[in-house]
A and B are shown apart, each in its own frame.
Chain A
Amino acid sequence: MRVLFLALGANRRLAVTEETRTLAAAGERPVVLVDKAEAWSDDEFAAGVELVELARLGREHWPLAAERLVLDRAPKSLLRRVGGRRGKRLVSAYDRRIGRPLHRRVFLPLYGRLWRDAGDRPLAEFSRRWGRFDALVVTDPQSFPVAQRLATDGRHRPRIAFRIDQVTSPGHQGETVDHEDKV
């Protein structure tokens, strides 16, 4: 069974690491789609769990590649060379004050106007490369829009769940104790 965990908001991380661990222990190889991997740097995933960074997909689109060259690689390379010891700090400041704001406020809206599918390209690449899943586990609010797009993409209809025992059902949630005084 191929299970995709959607964790783009990264705000219910314990649920994601625990539930993928449960699945991996059962011999499955769950995939976790996150926005940026750096938000998960303190979290430990079990062996067999694949983490995929959505922010790194869709970059082969030529305008984005050109933007990265001009707005990202070239200036950062220059700053590293001229900055010496202060190079790292300069790169970080450039990214924070110029690179990322320009990308977000100018280039992304521009791509959206020029290429109507620009915003969907990362997810389209993900679907193309990782294929179909039997179940999508939505783990946080920010993942709902992506879940909706994946669930209605083509004729394949994956199961939608919010906790893994909905997928592994009739699994048992919690631990049942055989109470001596139970009814």
Chain B
Amino acid sequence: MSGPVAVVTPWYPSSQLPFRGAFVQAMTEATAPGTTSFTVYHCDSWVARLSAGQDAEITAAFRALMPAAGAPSKTVGGADLVTVPVPMPRALPFAEQARRAADALKIALGGRPLDAEVVHAHVGLLGGLPALRNMRPGSRLFVTEHATFLDRMLAEPDGHAGYAEVLAACEAFFVVGDELREQLTTAFPEHADKLRPIANPIDFATPRAEPVKTLHRWLFVGGLIERKGVTWLLEAFAACRRQEPALTLTLVGEGELRGRLAERAEELGVAEAVTFAGALSPVEALSLMREHDVLVHPSRYETFGVVVIEAAAAGMPVIVTRCGGPEQTLAGIESDAGQLIEVEEDSAAIVAGYEQLRDRYPDGMDLDRARRVLADRFGYQAVARQHHEAWFAPQSRP
């Protein structure tokens, strides 16, 4: 093993956004142990409604203040965490956001380059460009892409150009999920050989106290937004509960649909069986998984679907749509882990998926086998091994 390693990321859990970047934190926890030093630079976008005059005044004050600021704190895996606020007005193009993050990082570093031979950026443009702009000559750049808004980023000419610059400079480009990989291969065929699949690391360490006996307590974890299919989930839950009044549904997460979902739950007569738990920390969400019986994840599109693997790790079966990521992550253990259903714009597939799973549970599946296979694919050790091989193996050097 070796180091030092610097990670540059626009996302990392904070008091303000405890969920954002949980996978970067998990990756840090998996990969930091064993390195000589490991520093995470969190270029945190602080967006506000600002006039041009305010923006200029804030930028000047930021420049004056930063040299005396920014003592690192400790984070997981023994790593250091340097928080670099990136003040910016709303609705900036992605390339401008990346440029501001690069400038803020440069100021935070006092104009010196990142003191690391290995620099790993998260999110191709928003982390990749700040990393590239602040590397010292001879350092090696690696990138992991998880962004669900990659298409919007690449649709901007400056965003596309910045992305191409990062891809050209990096040694390897890890991509979470095949959907993203296909998008990148199409957009940058000349760099297809650099693209490598990778998974976000998952905690398989804590088993549930008692195995699931019935599938009464449904759980959803994610944003309460259209893309996650939560409106169809609520309709399906109400339909199933008409047959089985013992069913309950807990929705973990926040989003624009929360009010409408609460109203619809009243209309459907299931309000007393539906709990809106709000946004919880990843640790709290994992704890809830051990207190529920089945994860229902009817997303319309996922690059990976980390919550599905976390549910399997917590020993609960899943009902999940074939929405990109999940059918790949569960490949070979689909029926052991739960029930895969099609993405349909109604609730019928979810209802049918639940009934099929209920009818064959527990004999028609093997949750322990699913957990073992997934631990081997996505456990901390597996993810750490992949990263360390890329970072430190001599054959990966250019």
Instruction: Write the residues of chain A forming the contact surface with B, with a CB cutoff of 8 angstroms.
Output: 9, 11-12, 14-15, 18-19, 138, 140-142, 144-145, 147-148, 151-152, 157, 159-166, 169-183
B234 to chain A, nearest CB (A): 26
The minimal Cβ–Cβ distance linking B203 to chain A, given in whole angstroms, is 6
Instruction: List, in ascending order, chain A residues with CB within 8 A of B68's CB.
Output: 151, 157, 160
Number of B positions contacting A (CB below 8 A): 49
Given A12-B16, A182-B381, A144 and B61 touching (CB < 8 A)?
Answer: yes
A165 contact from B58, B60, B74, B204, Cβ within 8 A: B74
Of A11, A18, A179, which is within 8 A of B48 by CB? A11
Instruction: Digitize B25-53: 1 where CB-to-A-CB distance is under 8 Å, 0 elsewhere.
Output: 10001100110000000001011111000
- Interface contact B205-A174, CB-CB below 8 Å: no
Q: Please tell me if the beta carbons of A9 and B48 are within 8 angstroms of each other in the complex.
A: yes
Query: Which residues of chain A have C-beta atoms less than 8 A from B246's C-beta?
Result: none
Q: Does B380 count as interface, using CB distance less than 8 angstroms?
A: yes
Q: Complex formed: what's the CA distance from A15 to B88 in Å?
A: 18
Inter-chain CB contacts under 8 Å: number: 134
Taking a contact as CB atoms under 8 Å apart, the answer to whether B74 and A162 are in contact is: no
Inter-chain contact A174/B25, CB cutoff 8 Å: yes
Known: A18-B15, A19-B15. A162 touches B85 (CB 8 A): yes
Q: Is there an interface contact between B74 and A144, defined as CB atoms closer than 8 Å?
A: no
Q: Which residues of B contact A9 (CB under 8 A)?
A: 48
Q: Given A142-B58, A181-B204, A181-B205: A162 and B70 within 8 A (CB)?
A: yes
Tell me the smallest distance from the CB of B79 to a CB of chain A, in Å. 10
B205/A179 in contact, CB under 8 A: yes
Which of B13, B15, B61, B65 lies at the interface centre, i.e. has the most chain A CB atoms within 10 A of its CB?
A: B15
Check if A162 sits within 8 Å of B205, measured CB to CB: no
User: In the complex, are the beta carbons of B380 and A172 less than 8 A apart?
Assistant: no
Q: How far is the CA of A58 from the CA of B29 in the complex (A)?
A: 49
Contact between chains at A141 and B380 (CB < 8 Å): no
Whether the Cβ atoms of B62 and A172 lie closer than 8 Å is no
Given A9-B48, A151-B65, also A181-B379 (CB < 8 A)? yes
Which A residues are CB-close (under 8 A) to B148? none
A177 to B206, CA, bound (A): 9
Q: Shortest Cβ distance from B175 into chain A, in angstroms? A: 23
Question: 1/0 contact trace for B332-354 toward A, CB 8 Å?
Answer: 00000000000000000000000
* A148 & B381 in contact (Cβ 8 Å cutoff): no
Can you list, as one digit per residue, whether each of B61-85 has a CB less than 8 Å from chain A (1) or not (0)?
1101100111111111100010101
Which residues does B use to contact A, with CB under 8 Å? 13-16, 25, 29-30, 33-34, 44, 46-50, 54, 57-58, 60-62, 64-65, 68-77, 81, 83, 85, 87-88, 203-206, 281, 283, 375, 379-381, 384
- Measured between beta carbons, the chain A residues less than 8 angstroms from B62 are 144
**Closest 5 CB pairs between A and B?**
A160-B69, A141-B87, A15-B16, A144-B61, A165-B73
Known pairs A144-B58, A145-B58; A174 contacts B75 (CB<8 A): yes
Query: Quick check: B65 and A163 within 8 Å, CB to CB?
Result: no
Which of B69, B76, B83, B204 is in CB contact (< 8 Å) with A174? Answer: B76
B253–chain A nearest beta-carbon distance, Å = 15
Smallest Cβ-Cβ distance to B375: which chain A residue: A181
Additional pairs, 6, CB under 8 Å, beyond known A11-B46, A138-B85, A169-B71: A11-B49, A12-B16, A144-B61, A151-B65, A165-B74, A169-B73
Known pairs A173-B75, A179-B205; A144 contacts B15 (CB<8 A): no
Q: Are B75 and A172 in contact (CB under 8 A)?
A: yes
Contact B205 A178 (CB under 8 A): yes
User: Can you list 28 A-B pairs with a CB-CB distance of less than 8 A?
Assistant: A11-B48, A12-B16, A15-B15, A140-B46, A140-B48, A141-B48, A141-B87, A142-B50, A145-B58, A147-B65, A151-B68, A161-B69, A166-B70, A166-B71, A169-B71, A171-B73, A172-B74, A173-B76, A174-B13, A174-B25, A175-B76, A175-B281, A175-B283, A179-B29, A179-B379, A180-B204, A181-B375, A183-B384
Q: Cα distance A9–B49 when bound, in Å?
A: 9
Q: Is there contact, CB below 8 Å, between A163 and B48?
A: no
Pick the most buried of B44, B68, B379: most chain A CB atoms within 10 A of its CB.
B68
A12-B16, A163-B14 as given contacts; A182 in contact with B380, CB under 8 Å? yes
How close is B39's CB to chain A, nearest CB, in angstroms? 13
